[in-house]
């Protein structure tokens, strides 16, 4: 059975929430995507920036988490288990580890071992999420990287407008273009809304309650994992191209 559209939207909310919290707590680190870390690496060669180490380590850690999630999901699939609930539970466990470290060892020094370890756990959680959506939710756009989603939104909006204009003149091809673009936007828009709400709620919650606010997304992930455990989801046997 296919994964309902609300699930990727909730994961987008999770990514936005976590990203906002870690940006405020970890010296400007974005754990949900690593584009900024590439820029930091280049800039760090000529200018010192606080948190340089964790931002550079973000690149291989995010990559390693994606590799592990891919192998993990395939091993489970070959053994006859549905990978989705396990992957969600694993992401939840990584975020829980991040929260425990953050509460027991306040992250005041960007280069402190506890801070670096906490950052790696947060990055790993988002790397797992990024991979599991790609592997286990066919047709869903990224729940982490909104740059690509914004580009897709712009393209689909343009095609929607072109299709609408041609459809008014009775062009069958334009009518099909309009319908296809509208369907893609129905899947894409909830992800953008979810991420935007996640960043807003996450930032406010962090300012009000500190890192303990991550309990919100932990509860959400536990709920998603339990829900996924009740269903029969059949992902493709290998990653989508």
> What confidence tens digit (pLDDT) does each residue in 5-50 have?
899 999 999 999 999 999 999 888 888 877 777 777 777 677 766 7
pLDDT at 142 over 80: yes
Q: What is the DSSP string of 107-155?
A: ---TTSHHHHHHHHHHHHHHHHHHHHHHHHSTT---SS-HHHHHHHHHH
Residue 73 maps to a domain: yes
The pLDDT assigned to 33 comes to: 79
Q: Which of 9, 3, 191 is nearest to 82 (CA)?
A: 3
Q: Which of 124, 119, 134 is nearest to 63 (CA)?
A: 124
Residue 162 maps to a domain: no
Range of the domain at 16: 6-145+194-229
The pLDDT assigned to 232 comes to: 58
The pLDDT assigned to 75 comes to: 95
Under the banding of pLDDT at 50, 70 and 90, the label for residue 240 is very low
Residue 58 maps to a domain: yes
Residue 130 maps to a domain: yes
Q: Which of 46, 4, 16, 23 is nearest to 143 (CA)?
A: 16
| Cα–Cα distance, 11 to 195 (Å, whole number) | 8
- The pTM assigned to this predicted structure is 0.89
| Cα–Cα distance, 38 to 20 (Å, whole number) | 19
Residue 240 maps to a domain: no
The pLDDT assigned to 239 comes to: 41
User: pLDDT per residue over 148-164, tens digit each?
Assistant: 899 999 999 999 999 99
Residue 166 maps to a domain: no
Residue 241 maps to a domain: no
Residue 41 maps to a domain: yes
The pLDDT assigned to 236 comes to: 44
The pLDDT assigned to 241 comes to: 38
Residue spans of alpha helices (H) in the chain: 6-25, 35-44, 52-78, 83-104, 113-136, 146-168, 172-209, 215-229
Q: Report the domain count for the chain.
A: 1
For the chain, give the mean pLDDT: 88
Q: Kindly tell me the burial class for residue 31, based on how many C-beta atoms sit within 10 Å of its own C-beta (0-12, 13-18, 19 or more).
A: buried
């Amino acid at each position: 059975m296919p994964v309902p559209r609300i699930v990727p939207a909730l994961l987008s909310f999770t990514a936005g929430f976590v990203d906002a919290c870690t940006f405020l707590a970890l010296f400007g680190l974005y754990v949900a995507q690593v584009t900024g870390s590439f820029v930091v690496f280049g800039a760090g060669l000529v200018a010192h920036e606080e948190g340089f180490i964790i931002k550079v380590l973000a690149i291989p850690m995010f990559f390693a988490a994606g590799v592990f999630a891919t192998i993990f999901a395939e091993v489970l699939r070959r053994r006859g288990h549905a990978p989705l609930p396990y992957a969600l539970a694993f992401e939840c466990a990584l975020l829980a580890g991040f929260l425990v470290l953050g509460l027991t060892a306040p992250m005041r020094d960007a280069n402190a071992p506890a801070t670096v370890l906490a950052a790696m756990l947060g990055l790993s959680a988002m790397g797992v999420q990024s991979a599991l959506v790609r592997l286990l939710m066919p047709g869903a756009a990224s729940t982490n990287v909104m740059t690509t989603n914004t580009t897709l939104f712009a393209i689909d909006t343009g095609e929607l407008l072109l299709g609408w204009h041609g459809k008014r003149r009775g062009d069958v091809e334009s009518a099909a273009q309009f319908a296809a673009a509208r369907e893609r936007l129905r899947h894409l828009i909830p992800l953008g809304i979810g991420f935007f709400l996640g960043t807003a709620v996450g930032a406010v919650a962090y300012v009000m309650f500190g890192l303990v606010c991550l309990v919100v997304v932990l509860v959400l992930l536990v709920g998603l994992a339990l829900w996924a455990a009740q269903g029969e989801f059949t992902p493709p046997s290998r990653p989508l191209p």
